[in-house]
Amino acid sequence: MNNFRTESDSMGQMQVPADAYYGAQTARAVENFPISNLRFPRQFIRALGLIKKNAAVANTSLNLLPKNISDAVQKAAQEVIEGKLDSQFVVDIFQTGSGTSTNMNVNEVIANRACEISGGKRGDKSVHPNDHVNRGQSSNDVIPTAIHLAALDGIVHNLIPALEELHSSLDKKAKEFDSILKIGRTHLQDATPIRLGQEFSGYASQIAHGIARLKSLEKNLGELPLGGTAVGTGINTHLEFSRRTIEGIARETKLNLREATNHFEAQGAIDALVEASGALKTVAVSLIKIANDVRWLGSGPRCGLGEIKLPATQPGSSIMPGKVNPVMCEMVIQVGAQVIGNDAAVTFAGTFGNFELNTMLPVAAHNLLQSIDLLTSAVKVFSRRCISGLEADAEKCVGNIEQSLAMCTSLAPEIGYDKAAKIAKVAYETGKTVREVALETSGLGKKKLDELLDARSQTEPGTGVGMAAGG
C-alpha cells in the first residue's frame, strides 16, 4: 500500500498510484475501460493543455480565479502542452462518449501538478480539478473544442505543408518530363499519345485541389464549441470566458479561431469533423491514384511498362536476388486504405449526435487525428523517397507509341471512322503498325500520314478536329 495514495471523488475513495499525477476519477476510468492499448495522441493532449492554460488566464482576468492558483495552473498546463506529463494520460479511447474521463484526467493531472508547484502535495486539493482547472467548462464543450483545435493545427501546420512539398515535386517532374512522348491509356488499354509531363501535371493538380479543400476547412474547424458548457446554454460560465480563452489559444497557435455562433449545433453535432474527415479521405483517394499510377508506370524493369524508373530504396525479395519493389507506392496505398476506413468510423460517429451531445467523440477524435498524422508522414516520405527521384525512360515511352493501334484515331477525321477502324483491325491481325497498314490501304501519301501520325501534335488541343469519340 506504500505504492498508493488515497484520493476521493463524488463516488467515494480510490487507490491511486503514489507517483501518479492523476487522481480518483482517472483511476476509476482505468478500471472501467481496460479495452485497448489506444490512447489519445500527443496533439490532442496538447490541445487540452492549451485550453486549460488559457481558461485559467481568462478566469483570472474575470476575477473568477485567484492569481496564485491561476499561475500554478498555467505552469502545469504548459508542461502538458510541452509533453512533459504525457505518461499521465492513461484513459482508453473506448470510454464515455463525451470524453469526460479524459477531460477529468487532464484536470486532475494539472491540478495535482499545480499543487506541487504551489508548495503542496499531490491529492491535497489546494488546487481543485473541477473548481479551478475546469472552471467555466464542461467535458461537453472542452472535448469537441480540443478535437477541432488538434485537427486544425495538424492540417494547417503539418499536412498542408507536406502536401505543398509533394505538389512542388510533382510539378517539377511535370516540367522535367514535358518533352517526353508516350502512349496514353484508358480502361488499361492503349489510347492516343500523351506527354509524360502532362500525366504528371494531372497528379500535381490533384494535390493542388486537395490543398484547397483542406484550406477551406478552416472556416468550420476554427469555430470552437467552448462556452456552451453542459448542453449549449453556457450555464456556469461567464459571458466573456469563451471569447477571451479562444483569443489566447489563437495567439499561441496562430490559427484563425472563434467561438461557435450556435452552441447547440456545435455540441449536438460534429458535422465539421465529418466534413474534415471527408476532405482527408479525398486526399487519400488522390494519393492512391497517383501512387498506383507511378507503381504501374515503373513496373518491370524489363517485362512491365517501364516508362519511369523508381528510386531503389530497399531489397524487394527474400528469395529473388536483385528484385526491387515499389515499396513507397505500396505504403501510400495502405495509408490511403486506413484513412478511408477511418472516415467510415468518423462518419458513423457523426450520426450519434443525440439531442444536445454527440456521444462518439473519443472514437471520432482518434480516427480523424490518426488520418491527419498518417497522411502527413506518408506524403513527406513519398515526396522525398519516391517522387523527387523519379526518372523517365524516354526510349521505352516512344517505342510504345508506334506500336499502338490507337494511332489510327488521328486518321479518322481524314478518312472516316469505319476505314480507320479497319486499319486498326488489320494492324492487330498482322502485327504491323498503323502507319504501315495505312500506307498500304488508306490512299494517303507518306507525307500526309507522317503529318497525321505525328505523336507530338496529337498531344495538343485542336488536333484531329472534326471527329469526337470516347473510351
Element (H, E) at 289: helix 271-297
Q: List, for residues 314-352, the tens digit of each pLDDT value.
A: 888 888 888 889 999 999 999 999 999 999 999 999 999
pLDDT in the model for residue 319: 83
pLDDT in the model for residue 324: 86
Per the residue annotation, which of 317, 318, 366, 442 is the catalytic one?
317
The Cα–Cα gap between 429 and 74 comes to 80
Per-residue pLDDT, averaged over 179-201, amounts to 96
- pLDDT surpasses 70 at 152: yes
Q: For residue 82, how many other CB atoms are within 10 A of its CB?
A: 11
Q: For residue 162, how many other CB atoms are within 10 A of its CB?
A: 19
Nearest alpha-carbon partner for 356 in 269, 245, 421: 269
Per-residue pLDDT, averaged over 1-7, amounts to 85
Confidence at 423, pLDDT banded by 50, 70, 90: very high
The Cα–Cα gap between 120 and 440 comes to 99
Task: Output 121-130 pairs: Cβ under 8 A, ≥24 positions apart.
Answer: 122/5, 122/20, 122/21, 123/5, 123/6, 123/7, 123/16, 123/23, 127/69, 127/72, 127/73, 129/23, 129/25, 129/104
Instruction: Please provide the DSSP assignment of 203-257 as one string.
Output: HHHHHHHHHHHHHTTHHHHTEE-TT-TTTSS-TTS-TTHHHHHHHHHHHHHT---
User: Which residues have a Cβ under 8 Å from the Cβ of 147 and sit 6 or more positions away?
Assistant: 44, 47, 270, 273, 361, 364, 365, 368, 369
Per-residue pLDDT, averaged over 165-183, amounts to 97
Three-class SS state of 258: strand
| Contact indicator for 29, 95 with CB cutoff of 8 Å | yes
| Contact indicator for 222, 260 with CB cutoff of 8 Å | no
Which residue has better confidence, 314 or 74? Answer: 74
- pLDDT surpasses 70 at 471: no
Confidence at 164, pLDDT banded by 50, 70, 90: very high
User: Which residues have a Cβ under 8 Å from the Cβ of 429 and sit 6 or more positions away?
Assistant: none
Question: What are the b/e assignments for 45-78, b being 16+ CB within 10 Å?
Answer: bbbbbbbbbbbbbbbbbbebbeeebbbbbbbbbe
- pLDDT surpasses 90 at 422: yes
Nearest alpha-carbon partner for 248 in 235, 239, 257: 257
- Cell matching residue 379: 506524403
Per-residue pLDDT, averaged over 120-147, amounts to 97
Per the residue annotation, which of 187, 216, 366, 383 is the catalytic one?
187
Average pLDDT, the chain: 95
Q: List, for residues 88-133, the tens digit of each pLDDT value.
A: 999 999 999 999 999 999 999 999 999 999 999 999 999 999 999 9
- pLDDT surpasses 90 at 45: yes
Instruction: Give the CA angle between residues 284, 338, 387 to the nearest 5°.
Output: 45
The Cα–Cα gap between 249 and 57 comes to 11
Question: What are the b/e assignments for 310-349, b being 16+ CB within 10 Å?
Answer: bbeeeeeeeeeeeebebbbbebbbebbebbbebbebbbeb
Q: List, for residues 380-409, the tens digit of each pLDDT value.
A: 999 999 999 999 999 999 988 989 999 999
Structural domains in the chain, sorted by start: 18-135 (1.10.275.10), 141-233+254-394 (1.20.200.10), 404-459 (1.10.40.30)
pLDDT in the model for residue 259: 98
User: CA distances (Å), 196 to each of 176, 295, 308, 452, in order?
Assistant: 9, 15, 9, 21
- pLDDT surpasses 80 at 462: no
The Cα–Cα gap between 212 and 459 comes to 28
Instruction: Please provide the DSSP assignment of 345-358 as one string.
Output: HHHHHHTTEETTEE
Which residue has better confidence, 399 or 263? Answer: 263
- Cell matching residue 411: 486518321
Q: List, for residues 264-304, the tens digit of each pLDDT value.
A: 999 999 999 999 999 999 999 999 999 999 999 999 988 99
Largest pairwise CA distance in the chain? 101
223-224 and 258-259 strand pairing: parallel
**Residue 88 per-residue DSSP state:** G
Amino acid at 192: T
Amino acid at 229: T
- pLDDT surpasses 80 at 169: yes
Q: Known catalytic residue: 317?
A: yes
Q: List, for residues 75-93, the tens digit of each pLDDT value.
A: 999 999 999 999 999 999 9
pLDDT in the model for residue 465: 53
The Cα–Cα gap between 341 and 365 comes to 14
